[in-house]
Chain A
Amino acid sequence: MGKSGRYVKASALLILLGIAAALPWLLGKYQVRILTLAMAWTIATLSLNLILGYTGQASLAHGAFLGIGAYAFGIMVQRVGLNFWISLPLACVVTALLGLLVGLPSLRTKGPYFAIVTLCFNVIILKVFENWNWLSGGIQGQVVPRPAFLTQRWARYYFVLAFLLLTLVAMRLIVKSLLGVTLMSIRSNEDLAEAVGINSFRNKLLAFVISCFVVGLAGALLALENGQLDFTITNYLYSFYLLIYLLIGGVATLSGPVVGTIGLYFLLDYMKNIGIKGVEEFRYFLFGLILLLVIIFFPMGITGGVKRAWEWARGRFRKGEAGEVAG
């Protein structure tokens, strides 16, 4: 990309940031809340993007890890009485450690096997939280108290926004680093990566643990915004939803998870509240249908589709502009 292209990109990002910063004053209370939740989900989608998008391993255990992060945070703040700033990173570390334990056996398997094993793990976690009342708080669930500086709605919005930006920066650094290139080489051809001396298992495990750390953060932020948890937060359906947000947004991009998650989250919320009979009950039917159509016709998702359209349009433009120079 040329210098001018970089300036265009930078200024576009700045404008987007400005809009994101101004939104709490432009939107109603309810929308701010939904947007805060959507941003927390985006962090979760970004975590899945690392292991699925860049490393090529379809983890269907991320719903479980989301719930584990949320519960670890809630239990530490409310039952143990730990400081907020200690609980938040500790919740991520707990999730990452569990990720290590799960990754060790499951990452030895490949392709759909890995997806099935991780899904099995998610069902186990769901059943444990469903039946072990001491852990999940039973029907009452687990209360998550908020610290004084986060009692305001807009404060939580900026708090989650800050973590979303942090996650995006971290993901960009990982993707551009040697680790990122290594992961992508494993995704495109694991045997070849092994042949050139890459320890694919260790790198996959590292990506999985980082991914679990991040999804733990997303869970803790969700818990914070909701103020209340029950065992359904560990549902494997959330693993499916994250997959859908990611695929529809666009795998292995950084903007895709953001566009996909926030867009779909708002769409689903809109359909829930539209008040037309039938739309609410059948909204996940549409969700499934969109997923099917995307995977069949646009495997690269929305951002991939836009990118291709943009390249196509630019190609036409260039051709008209200077045929003999470009060649």
Chain B
Amino acid sequence: MSFFLNQVVIGIQLGSQYVMVALGLTLIFGILDISHFAHGHLYMVGAYLLYIVMVLWDVNYWLALLICMVALALAGILVERAVYRPLRGQPQINTFIAAIGLILMLETLVRGIQPKALSVPKPIDRTLEFAGVSMEVQRLIVIIGAILFIVALQLFIKRTRLGTAIEAVAQDREGASLVGINVNRISALTFAVATALAAAAAVLMAPLAFISPEMGGVLILKAFVIVVIGGLGSIKGAIFGGYILGLLEALAIAYVSSAYKDVFAFAVLIAILAVRPTGLFKGRD
């Protein structure tokens, strides 16, 4: 039983990571109609930035979290401005291909500078015991941190003027620009928020696993799976989908096979799309 509970905790923690990445992706995909395939690689850059700031510059973990989020938010704005904005109005597949170019650039750059996998120390290196479940404090930090960020994002979108503007653009781009919303600024803002969220996920997760240049590839595919299943642009769908995928994966690793842990999500996606080519839930489309 305690083994099962342990796997559930790991599943929730995996799910937290997936939710944070998938939320950014669903915002960009659903709101701006951009298949931002390089999102996972910006996550990877966030993890490496944490290594630089925390290990090389010896900055406190929590301050490093803030630095990474701000830096990656700026990187997100740059990507939107330099890569995706010139491609607006072109077939969607072109943005997808541009993202692949970006992926190759980021991955080669990082691997060229630092080919080895790195590890980041845990800010609080302790393990808690509770009812037969042992839990590293960092896992708890990931789980709680993710919840805080998800709630903050919800409040931002529902309660602030800028957040409402994002929703307006999502519902009707032309209508939004007619009532005076600067669509370009909202695009940049969406990218900033989404990329900062990915950076936060990377910083939370980094102490639990090695960081490597290819870590973003499989992650973004899983995020796509979540977004497609949960419905494009649906924040709720991304949250549920992310946690469910994390739990399924943790249980599959324990009870089926760990060698094939990365393929479950994709097999599920292919099966679902074979039956319903537009995804499980009706998103904005």
Interface residues in chain A, defined as those with a beta carbon under 8 Å from any beta carbon in chain B:
56, 58, 104-106, 108-113, 115-117, 119-121, 123-124, 127-128, 131, 240, 243-244, 247, 278, 281-285, 287-292, 295-296, 299
- Known contacts A243-B97, A288-B102, A124 near B263 by CB under 8 Å: yes
The segment from B50-58, B84-92, B200-208 found at the interface with A is B84-92
B269 touching A120, Cβ below 8 Å:
yes
Question: Would you list the 8 A-B pairs with minimal beta carbon distance, nearest first?
Answer: A288-B104, A105-B274, A291-B101, A120-B266, A288-B105, A281-B112, A292-B101, A112-B35
A106 touching B98, Cβ below 8 Å:
no
A287 to nearest B CB, angstroms? Answer: 6
One of B98, B105, B271 near A295 (C-beta < 8 A): B98
B97 touching A127, Cβ below 8 Å:
no
| Bound form: Cα–Cα A290–B101 in Å | 8
The segment from B15-23, B143-151, B221-229 found at the interface with A is B221-229
> Looking across the interface, which residue of chain B has its beta carbon closest to that of A120?
B266
> Using Cβ atoms and an 8 Å threshold, which residues of chain B touch A106?
270, 273-274
A121 touching B108, Cβ below 8 Å:
no
- Known contacts A121-B266, A124-B267, A295-B94, A285 near B273 by CB under 8 Å: no
- Known contacts A109-B277, A281-B111, A123 near B263 by CB under 8 Å: yes
Question: What are 25 inter-chain pairs, A to B, with CB distance below 8 A?
Answer: A58-B93, A104-B274, A105-B271, A108-B273, A108-B274, A111-B93, A113-B273, A115-B96, A116-B221, A116-B225, A117-B270, A119-B221, A123-B266, A124-B266, A128-B263, A131-B260, A282-B108, A288-B108, A291-B98, A291-B100, A292-B98, A295-B98, A296-B86, A296-B87, A296-B98
Using a CB-CB cutoff of 8 Å, which residues 203-220 of chain B contact chain A?
218
| Bound form: Cα–Cα A105–B275 in Å | 8
One of B35, B101, B274 near A288 (C-beta < 8 A): B101
Does B153 sit within 8 A of A, measured CB to CB? no
> Using Cβ atoms and an 8 Å threshold, which residues of chain A touch B109?
282, 285
Given A247-B97, A299-B94; 15 other pairs, CB 8 A cutoff: A112-B92, A112-B96, A113-B228, A113-B277, A115-B96, A116-B228, A121-B270, A127-B263, A240-B103, A285-B109, A285-B112, A288-B100, A288-B108, A290-B101, A292-B83
| Bound form: Cα–Cα A288–B106 in Å | 9
| Bound form: Cα–Cα A56–B94 in Å | 11
Does B172 sit within 8 A of A, measured CB to CB? no
| Bound form: Cα–Cα A291–B93 in Å | 13
> Using Cβ atoms and an 8 Å threshold, which residues of chain B touch A289?
101, 105
| Bound form: Cα–Cα A111–B100 in Å | 15
Which secondary structure characterizes the binding site on chain B? Answer: helix
> Using Cβ atoms and an 8 Å threshold, which residues of chain A touch B260?
127, 131
Interface centre among A104, A111, A123, by most B CB within 10 Å? A123
Does B131 sit within 8 A of A, measured CB to CB? no
A121 to nearest B CB, angstroms? Answer: 7
| Bound form: Cα–Cα A296–B260 in Å | 37
B104 touching A284, Cβ below 8 Å:
yes
| Bound form: Cα–Cα A288–B224 in Å | 22
- Known contacts A123-B218, A127-B263, A299 near B224 by CB under 8 Å: no
> Using Cβ atoms and an 8 Å threshold, which residues of chain B touch A58?
93, 96-97
Does B259 sit within 8 A of A, measured CB to CB? yes
B35 touching A292, Cβ below 8 Å:
no
| Bound form: Cα–Cα A3–B98 in Å | 41
| Bound form: Cα–Cα A296–B111 in Å | 25
> Looking across the interface, which residue of chain B has its beta carbon closest to that of A58?
B93
> Using Cβ atoms and an 8 Å threshold, which residues of chain A touch B274?
104-106, 108
> Using Cβ atoms and an 8 Å threshold, which residues of chain A touch B96?
58, 112, 115
> Using Cβ atoms and an 8 Å threshold, which residues of chain B touch A247?
97
Give 1 or 0 for each of B273-285: 1 = CB within 8 Å of chain A CB: 1100100000000
> Using Cβ atoms and an 8 Å threshold, which residues of chain A touch B174?
none
- Known contacts A112-B96, A120-B221, A292-B83, A285 near B104 by CB under 8 Å: yes
Using a CB-CB cutoff of 8 Å, which residues 51-99 of chain B contact chain A?
83, 86-87, 90, 92-94, 96-98
